Structure 1
Amino acid sequence: MSKQCIKAWVSGKVQGVWYRRATQEQALQHGLTGYAKNLPDGRVEVLLCGEEEAVRAVTQWLWQGPPAARVSQVSLEEAAPRDPDAFITL
Structure 2
Amino acid sequence: MESPARDEPLETRLVYVRGQVQGIGYRQACVRRATALGVTGWVCNLMDGSVEAVLQGSPEQLAEMCAWLIDGMSAALVEELQVTAVQPPFARFDSFERMPTV
* TM-score where L is the length of structure 2: 0.81
One-letter identity of the residue aligned with 2:30: T
The aligned counterpart of 2:91 is: 82
For the aligned residue pairs, the C-alpha RMSD in angstroms reads: 1.3
* 1:3-62 deviation per Cα after TM superposition (whole angstroms, max 9, x unaligned): 101111000000001111111111111111100000000000011101111011101111
* TM-score where L is the length of structure 1: 0.91
Q: Pick the aligned partner of 2:71 from 54, 64, 68.
A: 64
**5+ unaligned residues in a row in structure 1: which ranges?**
none
How many angstroms apart in 2 are the aligned matches of 1:4 and 1:84? 11
The aligned counterpart of 1:29 is: 36
How many angstroms apart in 2 are the aligned matches of 1:71 and 1:61? 11
Greater Rg by CA: 2
The aligned counterpart of 2:19 is: 12
CA apart distance, 1:85: 2.1
Q: Does 1:54 align with 2:72?
A: no
Moved more, 80-89 or 31-40: 80-89
Structure 1 runs of 4+ aligned residues shifted over 2 Å read none
How many angstroms apart in 1 are the aligned matches of 2:81 and 2:21? 11
Q: Percent identity?
A: 32
**5+ unaligned residues in a row in structure 2: which ranges?**
1-7
